[in-house]
């Protein structure tokens, strides 16, 4: 099933049209506490929906929250012909998509991402899921939304850390697509006085990169693994931070993961050192560093063995030969992975 992605210029008009294109017996709107307060009022003149409000934050992307959404759908009389609208960041679109895809064996859903991370990554591509057993997105299904409505106007109210979090996924898209897109992202003023009109254009380009890859490999059998660049290490950083009860934003973890995996790329596939240093410099300037010492190397290694793209317990990396030249399914021994951590701590 192809996922329709609309870069909206008039959210109310586009949403009204999309809802009419997907007739339903009941309409439900899933938000978290923040998007319920800040974003849901924008939709109330357009649609009449039963609201489901869940706690905000990735720590609530759990079985318990998922069950509460199922419960509300069930108590509200939802059927297979109902429609769920997910309004929020990646946590809402991931969990809401999973709830919709499993309730009554699947009801239609629409994503309206409100964060940059959700716009360029989480809400697009049909991945849904929850965190489980201390691991990120451990349980979920591939199930595309009927439509993803992207309105970059929401970004004007986004705080700087969350803007940067989404931008890290865009940087990844630049690295796996073209030198021009990568350079454009490195040179864009994301940390100062942001030009939101220019950002909208770059967001559109970033979404196209992901759409192009997902269309060719919707179930991640091959090419889609390219989107995992930075994530094998990034998810380990994220899980370690969660275990410390000091969670970090997903995009920050990905940015730090890019530093590590670009280092591996220079060693294993000949990625140009200068391009690696330019990218690392950008990450260091905008994202700071994740704090860990050598006593955490074994823990991080163990967390990396749980990555969903591994086979038979062997850690699998997506690497680059150059910007836009992907090299999938790489392995590295424990010694090299520890050297990678050394490089990270010395450089950052």
Catalytic residues: 105, 127, 169, 210, 220, 224, 228, 231, 235, 250
Q: Would you state the structure tokens that stand for residue 167, as one six-digit string? A: 């931008």
Q: Would you state the structure tokens that stand for residue 259, as one six-digit string? A: 């530093």
Give the span between the Cα atoms of 143 and 94, in whole angstroms.
10
Give the span between the Cα atoms of 277 and 64, in whole angstroms.
43
* Contact in structure between 50 and 75 (CB atoms under 8 Å): no
Give the span between the Cα atoms of 18 and 21, in whole angstroms.
5
DSSP string, 257-298: HHHHHHHHHHHHT---HHHHHHHHHHHHHHH------GGGHH
* Contact in structure between 90 and 35 (CB atoms under 8 Å): no
Q: Which backbone phi and psi does 317 adopt, to 5 degrees?
A: -115, 145
The 10 Å Cβ neighbour count of residue 24 is 17
Exposed / middle / buried, residue 317 (Cβ in 10 Å: 0-12, 13-18, 19+):
buried
Give the span between the Cα atoms of 252 and 171, in whole angstroms.
11
Q: DSSP code of 90?
A: H
């Amino acid at each position: 099933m192809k996922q329709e992605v609309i870069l909206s210029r008039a959210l109310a008009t586009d949403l009204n049209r999309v809802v009419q294109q997907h007739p339903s017996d009941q309409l439900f709107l899933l938000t978290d506490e923040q998007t319920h307060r800040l974003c849901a009022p924008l939709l109330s003149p357009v649609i009449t929906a039963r609201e489901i409000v869940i706690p905000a934050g990735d720590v609530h992307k759990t079985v318990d929250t998922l069950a509460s959404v199922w419960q509300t759908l069930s108590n509200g009389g939802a059927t297979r012909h109902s429609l769920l609208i997910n309004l929020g960041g990646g946590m809402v679109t991931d969990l809401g998509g999973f709830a919709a895809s499993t309730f009554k064996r699947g009801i239609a859903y629409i994503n309206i991402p409100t964060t940059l991370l959700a716009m360029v990554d989480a809400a697009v591509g049909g991945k849904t899921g929850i965190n489980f057993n201390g691991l990120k997105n451990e349980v979920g299904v591939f199930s595309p939304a009927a439509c993803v409505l992207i309105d970059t106007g929401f970004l004007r109210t986004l705080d700087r850390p969350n803007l940067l979090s989404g931008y890290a996924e865009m940087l990844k898209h630049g690295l796996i697509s073209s030198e021009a897109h990568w350079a454009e992202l490195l040179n864009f003023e994301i940390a100062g006085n942001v030009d939101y009109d220019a950002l909208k254009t770059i967001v559109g380009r970033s979404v196209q990169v992901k759409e192009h890859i997902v269309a060719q490999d919707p179930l991640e059998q091959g090419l889609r693994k390219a989107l995992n660049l930075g994530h094998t290490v990034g998810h380990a950083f994220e899980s370690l931070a969660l275990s410390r009860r000091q969670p970090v934003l997903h995009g920050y973890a990905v940015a730090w993961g890019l530093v590590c995996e670009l280092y591996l790329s220079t060693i294993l596939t000949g990625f140009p050192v200068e391009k690696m240093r330019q990218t690392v410099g950008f990450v260091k300037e905008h994202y700071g560093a994740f704090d860990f010492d050598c006593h955490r190397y074994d823990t991080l290694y163990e967390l990396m063995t749980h990555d969903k793209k591994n086979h038979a317990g062997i850690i699998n990396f997506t690497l680059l030969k150059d910007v836009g030249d992907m090299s999938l399914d790489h392995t590295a021994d424990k010694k090299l992975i520890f050297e990678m951590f050394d490089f990270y701590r010395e450089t950052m």
